[in-house]
C-alpha cells in the first residue's frame, strides 16, 4: 500500500513542466552516453579518451537527473544540492576536454589543473553563496564569477586558444565552438544564481515570487544542461571524425 502511494505521488502531472524537463533531460543524456560509449571503439585512437569523457559527462548527468526528477516530484522543491553535485563532477570534465584536444599541440598538465581548479572554485563558491551563506551571496558570486571569466579567458585568449591555433584548423574550429558553449551556454548559470539569491543584482529585487522563479530556472537549467553537455560531446565527436 505504501509503495503504491509512493509510485502514485511520483507520476508526472501534464502541467508539471519542471518534472517533465527533468525526465526529458534524463532520457536525452542517457541516450547520448550510450551513443558515445558505443562509438569509442569506432574512434581513432588519439580521440578515444575525448569521446569517452563525453560519454562520462552525459552518463553522470543522466544518473543525477533521474534522481533529481524523483526528488522534485516527492518534495516539490528545487534539487539545488544534487544539481551542484552533478556540476562538480561534470563541469571539470568538460574543462578537461579542452586539454585533451590541445594535448597534441603541446598542452601541459599545468593547463589541465588550471582549468579544473577554476571550475571547482566557480562551483564551490557558487554553492556557498546560493545555499550556505546566502547573506554574503554577492561576495561569493563575485568570486565564482571571477573563476568563470578566468576559464573564458583561457579558452578565448589564453593558453587554450593559442594551442588550438597550432593544432590544426579542425581543432581550432572545434575549440571555438566549445568556447561559445562556455561563454553563451554557461551564462545561464550566473543568471540563475542572481535570481536565486537574496537581493537580486546589486540589491535590486528582480522577481516578485521567488518560488516561481526557482521553478522557471529549474526548467531553464534543465534545457541548458542538456544542450551544453550533449552539445559538447557532439562537437568532440565531430572533431574525432573530421580528423580520421
Rounded CA gap, 130 and 78, in Å? 12
pLDDT of residue 11: 65
Q: What is the reported pLDDT for 20?
A: 86
**C-beta of residue 153 within 8 angstroms of C-beta of residue 217:** no
- What integer pLDDT is reported at residue 209 of this predicted model? 55
Q: Show Cβ contacts of residue 192 under 8 Å, excluding neighbours closer than 6 positions.
A: 217, 220, 221
Name the grid cell of 116: 579544473
Domains of the chain: 2-242 (1.20.1070.10)
pLDDT given at position 76: 83
Euclidean distance between CA atoms 218 and 42, whole angstroms:
36
For 6, counting Cβ atoms within 10 Å of its Cβ (0-12 exposed, 13-18 middle, 19+ buried), the class is exposed
Dihedral sign, CA of 194, 181, 97, 163?
negative
Please write the tens of the pLDDT for every residue from 111-135: 999 999 999 999 999 999 888 887 8
d(CA 149, CA 167): 24
Residues of the chain with pLDDT under 70: 1-15, 195-214, 243-244
Q: Which of 54, 51, 65, 52 is nearest to 22 (CA)?
A: 65
Buried-exposed string 35-73: b where 16+ CB fall within 10 A, e elsewhere? bbbebbeebeeebebbbbbbbbbbbbbbbbbbbbbbbbb
Amino acid at each position: 500500500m505504501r509503495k503504491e502511494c509512493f509510485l502514485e505521488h511520483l507520476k508526472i502531472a501534464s502541467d508539471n513542466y519542471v518534472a517533465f524537463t527533468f525526465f526529458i533531460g534524463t532520457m536525452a543524456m542517457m541516450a547520448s552516453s550510450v551513443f558515445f560509449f558505443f562509438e569509442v571503439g569506432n574512434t581513432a585512437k588519439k580521440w578515444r579518451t575525448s569521446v569517452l569523457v563525453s560519454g562520462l559527462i552525459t552518463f553522470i548527468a543522466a544518473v543525477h537527473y533521474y534522481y533529481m526528477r524523483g526528488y522534485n516530484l516527492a518534495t516539490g522543491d528545487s534539487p539545488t544540492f544534487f544539481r551542484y553535485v552533478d556540476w562538480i563532477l561534470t563541469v571539470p570534465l568538460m574543462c578537461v576536454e579542452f586539454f585533451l584536444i590541445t594535448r597534441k599541440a603541446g598542452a601541459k598538465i599545468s593547463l589541465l589543473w588550471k582549468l579544473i581548479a577554476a571550475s571547482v572554485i566557480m562551483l564551490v563558491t557558487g554553492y556557498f553563496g546560493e545555499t550556505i551563506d546566502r547573506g554574503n551571496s554577492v561576495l561569493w558570486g563575485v568570486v565564482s564569477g571571477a573563476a568563470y571569466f578566468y576559464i573564458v579567458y583561457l579558452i578565448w585568449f589564453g593558453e587554450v586558444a593559442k594551442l588550438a591555433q597550432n593544432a590544426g584548423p579542425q581543432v581550432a574550429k572545434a575549440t571555438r565552438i566549445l568556447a561559445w558553449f562556455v561563454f553563451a551556454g554557461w551564462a545561464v548559470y550566473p543568471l540563475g544564481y542572481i535570481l536565486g539569491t537574496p537581493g537580486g543584482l546589486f540589491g535590486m529585487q528582480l522577481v516578485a515570487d521567488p518560488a516561481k522563479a526557482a521553478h522557471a530556472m529549474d526548467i531553464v537549467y534543465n534545457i541548458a544542461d542538456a544542450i551544453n553537455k550533449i552539445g559538447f560531446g557532439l562537437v568532440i565527436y565531430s572533431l574525432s571524425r573530421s580528423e580520421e
